[in-house]
Amino acid sequence: MAGERKDNRIERGNRTRQLVLDRTVQIASVEGLEGLSLGRLAGELELSKSGVFALFGSKEELQLATVRAAIRIYAQYVVGPTLDIPPGLDRLRQLCDNWIAYSQQRVFPGGCFFYSVTAEFDARPGPVRDALARARRSWLDFIETTIEEARAAGEVAPDTDAPQLAFELVSFLETANAESVLHDDPSSYAKATKAVRSRLRWAATDPSLVPPDPTPTA
């Protein structure tokens, strides 16, 4: 019986923790990680402040847990759907399309979570900045690996500079996100899609491997 009570407490704690993190990723994408507070979350979610504090212990740990939760969501929407696609240009193109959809559909209400909070912490040394830097490096590494796999599959030109191409693709994506959020301009996503596909055709051994640009919707 004591074991059951302990298991129930753990399960309730895990549910409460997930409830809090579901809210913190939304807040942080709009207001930044500094917009988080244990008291605010307790009030909004009708939880005890002491209970929220017991789950996270400090504002910094709450921020770090929020970053980890955002990474999981990001992977689910952007990276995960590409893993069953064979290595090649189609996987690389789909990765970019997924990113555009992730921003455009406002998986996080403030657009890309990482674009928003990285600007907040990029010049502030500490564990949160380090966690964000690791997340960004992991994302760029994944794109570079995807490019290198496409090259190994014979679909990307042998002389392609994978880090440079990854940098350019990410720049297109992040600019679309920024323009959409700042100017409420959804046309930025079509522009980014066109730019990505143009760049992939330039790098491809056979440009026809990259689908035509989508037809603009009315």
Residues 108/25, Cβ–Cβ less than 8 Å: yes
pLDDT digits (tens, 9 = 90+) for 30-42: 999 999 988 889 8
Rounded distance between C-alpha atoms, residue 27 and residue 93, angstroms? 30
pLDDT at 153: 97
| Residue 8 pLDDT exceeds 70 | no
The percent of residues in the chain predicted with pLDDT above 70, rounded, is 94
Residue type present at position 190:
A
Nearest CA among 110, 100, 92 for reference residue 186? 100
pLDDT digits (tens, 9 = 90+) for 177-214: 999 999 998 999 999 999 999 999 999 999 999 999 88
pLDDT at 213: 86
Residues 6+ apart with CB under 8 A from 129: 121, 122
The percent of residues in the chain predicted with pLDDT above 90, rounded, is 79
Residue 4: pLDDT band with limits 50, 70, 90: low
Q: Average pLDDT of the chain? A: 92
pLDDT at 217: 56
Mean pLDDT over 13-37 rounds to 92
Nearest CA among 89, 79, 207 for reference residue 151? 89
Packing angle between helix 49-56 and helix 38-45, nearest 10 degrees?
Answer: 130
| Residue 215 pLDDT exceeds 80 | no
Domains in the chain, CATH or no CATH each = 2-207 (1.10.357.10)
Residue 139: pLDDT band with limits 50, 70, 90: very high
